Amino acid sequence: METLREIRRRIRSVQNLAQMTRAMEAVSASKVQKAQAAVLATRPYAHRAWEVIVNLSGVRGIPLHPLLTVREPVRSVMMVVFTSDRGLCGAYNHNVVRAATDYARRLGVPVRYVAVGKRGRNILWRLRAPLVAQFSGLPAVPRLADITAIARLAIDEFLSGEVDAVLLAYTDFINLLRQRPVVKRLLPLRPTRLDEQAVSEYVVDMKPARVTDYIYEPSPEALLEVVLPRFIELQVYQAALEAAASEHAARRAAMRNATDNAEELIRDLTILRNKARQHAITKELLDIAGGAEALRQLQGEMVL
Amino acid sequence: MGFQLDIVTPEKQLFSGEVDSVLLPGAEGELGILPRHAPLLTALTIGELVARRGEEELLFAIHGGFAQVLPDRVIVLADMGERAEEVDAARAEQARREAEELLKKEPPPEARAEALMALRKAQLRLKVARRQRPHRPPEEHS
């Protein structure tokens, strides 16, 4: 049996641990809220920009923009996988990477991966998946400027013909307890097929775009050239924010579990400590009683 | 009778409300919009946006984007933007000086374009900040 002092030391160290996991839980919870607020804040722009794209791509007499053109057959695909830089977030990273690789296997065409986050990069490395780029060091709640390089890469690879489609794999934030890995198409955008378009999930209460005859300045083509990259950036940004909210929610859950486990351990150890203490007291009493008895017997013998 | 003006950036909504007129930094020159303007879609450049509501004047720094003009509303989709009150004049001043320093060293064309862009943004921020607070002298720098 462990000594009383050892048990006391273990209780103290578990208490310290619980304090830290409790703090991390609180921090993660507040980051979830910030990321969620940021997602909501992108919606008005997404809505408006989408309307403009639908309108512009409906203008007669202009060729379909390359970013909107579907290529058949799809020969190769780029998959951007959003993971975290840090661990202690349960199965968060493994779940999204598995969703991505499962999807890729079903596609049946070569898939190149772009890892966002160190954890995903490491997992993909171990799987020997073809990595073409990796991004890391995104802040807890990313800003638009943090992800423009990712969007730029996606657009460049797609336009140069290196890949025929770009997919985003990230974790959709449902609520604090549920997050779901999803794979969505980023490119090509298809404004003519609203129902199927991944965009429709981002753009809430989407009404059919007003049919208006606009004056275009400088020209519909030039305007599309401005608005499309922005919209694509925004989609990547929204995915990054959803992923951030999910990461923090997953970490919060993991930390809550850790705190609960620590508290259970403290309870068990406390019982053990009490037992050890009682044991020690009993032993001492026995010693004293035994000693007293021995002494008395000794004295009795001497008297006799 | 005014019209509805919405100014949004990818990161947030900057403004939403009724105004009497608005001056936009159009890619092909400044555009003054009054109610019942013909439908127009226009690209925007780096410049200031002035909205008027009665006697009140609202100023924004707009860093590119585009605007959708309809007879009863104007929607500005700015790549980046801020209200004049939000502009950090000290930071803008520092950015301006840094950009000027960089330009003096005759950098390669790409870096030069970037520095010029930064300079324009900083100048715009300073201009907007000064117009917003005409009675207050520009902030001192040590």
pLDDT digits (tens, 9 = 90+) for B10-42: 888 899 999 999 999 998 889 999 999 988 989
Q: A144–B68: do the CB atoms touch at under 8 Å?
A: no
Compute the distance between CA of residue B88 and CA of residue B132 in angstroms, rounded to an integer. 12
Split at pLDDT 50, 70, 90, the class of A154 is: very high
Q: How far is the CA of A204 from the CAs of A255, B17, B71, B123, in angstroms? A: 33, 21, 24, 37
Q: What is the pLDDT of residue A53?
A: 83
Residue B139 pLDDT level (bands cut at 50, 70, 90)? low
> CB–CB of B83/B15 below 8 Å?
yes
Distances (CA, A) of B142 to A213, B1, B106: 54, 48, 27
| Chain A residues whose beta carbon lies within 8 Å of the beta carbon of residue B39 | 212-215
Domain ranges of chain B: 3-84, 87-132
- A201 secondary structure, DSSP code: H
First to last CA, chain B: 48
**Pairing between β-strand A131-135 and β-strand A165-173 as defined by DSSP bridges:** unpaired
Amino acid at B23: L
Q: Are A28 and A248 in contact (CB under 8 A)?
A: yes
Q: Does pLDDT of B117 surpass 90?
A: no
d(CA B49, CA B123): 14
- Residue among A50, A214, A232 with most chain B CBs within 10 A, to mutate: A214
Residue A287 confidence (pLDDT) above 50:
yes
For position A209, what pLDDT does the model report?
47
Model confidence at B89: pLDDT above 90: no
Residue range A71-108, pLDDT digits in tens: 888 899 999 999 999 999 999 999 999 999 999 999 88
Q: What separation in angstroms does the CA of A107 have from each of A130, A165, A292, B89? A: 15, 11, 85, 52
Average pLDDT over chain A, rounded to an integer: 87
Determine the Cα–Cα distance for residues B92 and B94; give it in Å rounded to an integer: 5
Report yes or no: B41 and A214 within 8 Å, Cβ to Cβ.
yes
Share of chain A above pLDDT 90, in %: 62
For residue B137, is pLDDT > 60? no
Q: Report the residue of chain A nearest B41, measured CA to CA.
A: A216
In the three-class reduction of DSSP (H, G, I as helix; E, B as strand; rest coil), residue B71 is classed as coil
Chains A and B form CB pairs within 8 A to the count of 74
pLDDT for residue A212: 63
Structure confidence by residue, pLDDT tens digits, A105-150: 998 899 999 999 999 999 999 999 999 999 999 999 999 989 999 9
Residues from A contacting B (CB-CB < 8 Å) are 38, 41-42, 44-46, 48-49, 51-52, 55-56, 143-144, 210, 212-218, 220, 222-223, 226-227, 230, 233-234, 237
Report how far residue A280's alpha carbon sits from residue A292's, in angstroms, rounded to the nearest whole number: 18
Confidence (pLDDT) at A197 = 42
Six token digits for residue A20? 């830290």
Query: What is the ipTM, given to two decimal places?
Result: 0.75
Of residues A26 and A198, more confidently modeled: A26
Residues from chain B that touch A46, judged by Cβ atoms under 8 A, are 10
Tell me which amino acid residue B67 is: A
The token pair at A94 is 């493994």
pLDDT at residue number A194? 40
What was the pLDDT predicted at A215? Answer: 86
A274 alpha carbon, distance to own chain's centre: 42
H/E stretch holding A200 reads: helix A199-202
Contact A242, A83 (CB under 8 A): no
Instruction: Decide if pLDDT at A1 tops 60.
Output: no
A218 contacts B27 by C-beta, under 8 angstroms: yes
- In the three-class reduction of DSSP (H, G, I as helix; E, B as strand; rest coil), residue A163 is classed as coil
Share of chain B above pLDDT 70, in %: 92
Residue written as token pair 């609520």 = A175
Q: Is B117 exposed, middle or buried (0-12, 13-18, 19+ CB in 10 A)?
A: middle
* Mean per-residue pLDDT of chain B: 84
Asked whether residue A203 carries a pLDDT value surpassing 50, the answer given is no
B/e letters for A211-226, b = 16+ CB within 10 Å, e = fewer, are eeebebbeebeebbeb
- Assess contact for B51 and B21: CB atoms under 8 A: yes
| Whole-number percent of chain A with pLDDT over 70 | 90
pLDDT number for residue B133: 55
pLDDT tens-place string over residues B57-72: 899 999 889 899 988 8
pLDDT at B141: 55
Q: How far is CA A278 from CA A11, A266, A269, A281, A288, in A?
A: 17, 18, 14, 5, 15
Q: How confident is the model at residue A46 (pLDDT cuts 50, 70, 90)?
A: confident
Q: Is the pLDDT of residue B140 over 70?
A: no
Task: Judge whether B66 and B45 are in contact, CB under 8 Å.
Answer: no
In the predicted model, what is the mean pLDDT of residues A33-61?
84
DSSP-derived 3-state class of residue A111: strand
Q: Which has the higher per-residue pLDDT, A33 or B122?
A: A33
Judge contact between A259 and A25, C-beta under 8 A.
Answer: yes
> CB–CB of B10 and A226 under 8 A?
no
Please give the CATH superfamily to which domain B3-84 belongs.
F0F1 ATP synthase delta/epsilon subunit, N-terminal (2.60.15.10)
- Which of B11, B13, B38 faces A143 most closely, judged by CB atoms? B11
Task: Identify any residues that bridge with B43 across adjacent strands, giving them in sequence order.
Answer: B66
Q: Which residues contact B47 (CB under 8 A, 6 or more apart)?
A: B25, B30, B62, B124
Residue A206 has pLDDT above 60, yes or no: no
Confidence band of A202 (pLDDT split at 50, 70, 90)? very low
Contact B10, A237 (CB under 8 A): yes
Report which residue type is found at A129: A
